[in-house]
Amino acid sequence: MPKNSKAVKRELDDDVTESVRDLLSNEDTCDDSFKKSSLIVGGGGGDGEGKDLNGDMDVEDGGSDAEDDAARPAWNSKLQYILAQVGFSVGLGNVWRFPYLCQKNGGGAYLVPYLILLIVIGIPLFFLELSVGQRIRRGSIGVWNYISPRLGGIGFASCVVCFFVALYYNVIIGWSLFYFSQSFQQPLPWHECDHRNSTPDVVPECEKSSATTYYWYREALNISDSISESGGLNWRMTICLLAAWSMVCLAMIKGIQSSGKVMYFSSLFPYVVLICFLVRALLLKGSVDGIRHMFTPKLEIMLEAKVWREAATQVFFALGLGFGGVIAFSSYNKRDNNCHFDAVLVSFINFFTSVLATLVVFAVLGFKANIMNGKCVALNTKKIVGLLGNEISRDLIPHHINFSATVSAEDYQKMTVLIRGVMEKDYQLLGLGSCSIEEELNKAVQGTGLAFIAFTEAMTHFPASPFWSVMFFLMLVNLGLGSMFGTIEGIITPLVDTFKVRKEFLTVGVCLLAFFIGLLFVQRSGNYWVAMFDDYSATLPLLIVVILENVAVAWVYGTDKFFEDLKDMLGFTPFRFYYYMWKYVTPLLLILLLGSSVIQLGMTPPSYSAWIKDLASEKSLSYTPWGLAVCISLVVMAIMPVPVVFFLRYFNIIDENAGVVSTISYKKGCIIQEIARPEEEDDASLIHAKSPSPMPGNSIYRKQKGGVPDSTPNGRYGIGYLMADMPDMPESDL
């Protein structure tokens, strides 16, 4: 065969000549029963024999290497694919991280830098990952190995980071499952503090903190005082972790064929819950105060560099860049899918989901602030009544205020203003609180503090609180599962593509291994380990991975050549905007973000927030020397594959052609193979930029002998599109 020609195989009733373009556009030629079938990879010499891409195996009649390249399934519909990408990108961070950053960094003004950075960093990088995954049709390992074998370690680094994140992310799903299981009771178990031995005495730890705080740290986690005190396994959380991994394993065991169906529920249900919560919260007193507080712009804060750095970090992680899940999901797409539209659509869905979640969170927190403020007013009004006639003159109390009735927050503010104006320095000795809704709303919380403490406390005041609690934690479970599916796919897909193992066995093996390692996170000290992994296992490694991805495409492979590939794949040339973003702007901004992150880590010694039982409060503790060693090891282990693979390739310890894989196109389960030959010249497109549609006379197909598909070792049927024995054809002008 000529150097740049491709063998394209297809079962037809008669010998026909048909272009690959026609094959791709024909949706009715493949029976649905062949969607799970195995791919027959054959190379096309005139003697009917072929080799795999590494030249290791001879193939007779194109059928003996079916074991090597299992058929890649395709999404059943575009909607299923979009829901998968949305489910992966929209996660817990949208609910408990974005609202906190929005409040902390200028309220509504924070949306401006976030949107700018979403357009400059988020969408271009998201589009880049979607493009290479869809065009090369491999997971992260295969994609970056194909682009530059010396940068093949990028894919392995993504897998390592995915595994680290999956370890602790599923623990959070386990926590949500525990609260979900405890929500089917009235009143909710965290409604009030427990009494000691059925006496009026309240547990001191609960009395010093709050009912929801006590329930989280003592009843749910039974937390130890430091990371050094493991305290043994928390058996209830161990069961919840097992349930979480079982759900993930069952949903992922058949790949996208099983997880894709789950996506319809796991991706859409959170929106139903968020909308229901928003409608319900808006009907509660104080919700508007929360929303007004949230979106009141503080323009002076927007000019601070820290705001832009945190916005860039949030954009980066909100879209799931660098994990490999985006690449894995897009690799199951049709070759001509408009991935640019997908990138813009999913990015803005993610953004509007964050805004919706922010509305919900601060509507609920506004209601909670109103409740807490009312309690504060009632408590301090009693203090004022007790001080009347002694420290406080009755003449200072406005005549319209009736202490026998409920005193409003406005009346309380009038009293305290008058009392402070008269007593001045002695006012502090009275011990009266300010009781301000603004101060209550300024108590910014994020992460588990928002979900398992602040939000749960607010829900205890909801009418029909168990129902809303069940809905909320079921939403958290679904948000977590959607992200977990993409994370696990970022591990499974590259390994299956690279090592040709059965997906079912690998999925079960990965889930079992992750569960047993995950027992570290369900000890009494497990919450501290979750915080450690969250802080150090992903942030820096993912930044480095995405910088290398950007450099690999824009500078190693070449932006011009990549644009040609995109034009061939999409049918149109993308906006020139992406050219400059990929080549100059985005890598520069990512390097600045990496540098600022390293500086921040250097300026703030590694520490964690520990719950001290005797104090009934949190305290910042520094990591022990072995804890610091673990933090450093997490970063090093995650990024180590990049230099290791580079040096192995550079010194020819591993052949640079090893791992070059074939590109496969699918159409509703129909499989058309395009064999990429490792000896192609450099001027050949990375992913076959030139049109793969041969002219008549250059592609001849013959029906497989026997008419019965070959049975594959895994019990599925091979399609068996075999090329006819024929002499070498003249080299195509293409």
Are 460 and 372 in contact, with CB atoms under 8 Å apart? no
User: Long-range contacts of range 540-543, CB-CB < 8 Å, 24 or more positions apart?
Assistant: 540/594, 540/597, 540/598, 540/601, 540/635, 540/639, 541/157, 541/160, 541/161, 541/635, 541/638, 541/639, 542/161, 542/316, 542/317, 542/321, 542/322, 542/323, 543/316, 543/322, 543/590, 543/593, 543/594, 543/597
Ligand-binding annotation for 479, yes or no, is yes
Number of CB atoms found within 10 A of residue 214's CB: 24
Cβ pair 147, 552 in contact under 8 A: yes
What DSSP designation does 55 have?
A: S
Instruction: Provide the sign of the torsion angle of the four alpha carbons 312, 314, 317, 318, taken in this order.
Output: negative
Helix %, strand %, coil % for the chain, to 5? Answer: 60, 5, 35
CB 128 within 8 A of CB 550: yes
User: Is position 90 annotated in a ligand binding site?
Assistant: yes
CA distance 295 to 362: 10
Is there a contact between 718 and 712 (Cβ–Cβ < 8 Å)?
Answer: yes
Residue type, 412: Y
Of 323, 322, 245, residue with least CA distance to 509 = 245
> Residue 612's CB: how many other CB atoms inside 10 A?
15
Please state the separation of Cα 395 from the chain's center in Å. Answer: 61
**Angstrom distance (rounded) from CA 71 to CA 59:** 17
Residues 6+ away with beta carbon under 8 Å from 355: 111
Is 520 labelled as part of a ligand binding site?
no
Written in H, E and C, the secondary structure of 425-440 is: HHHHHHCCCCCCHHHH
| Start-end of H helices in 303-454 | 305-318, 325-330, 339-387, 409-423, 437-441, 447-449
Please name the residue ranges forming H helices in 223-337: 235-252, 256-282, 287-295, 299-302, 305-318, 325-330
Tokens coding 715: 């019990």
Annotation-wise, does 350 bind a ligand?
Answer: yes
Q: Is 87 annotated as a binding residue?
A: yes
CB atoms within 10 A of CB 496: 22
Choose among 218, 160, 303, 167: nearest CA to 524.
Answer: 218
Residue 185: how many other CB atoms lie within 10 Å: 11
- In sequence order, the β-bridge partners of residue 612 are 617
Report yes or no: 221 and 524 within 8 Å, Cβ to Cβ. Answer: yes
439 Cβ contact list (under 8 Å, min separation 6)? none
Q: How many CA atoms lie within 13 A of 169 on its CB side?
A: 26
In this structure, the number of other CB atoms found within 10 A of the CB of residue 159 comes to: 24
Annotated binding site: 87, 90, 94, 350, 479, 483
Annotated binding site for Na(+): 87, 90, 94, 350, 479, 483
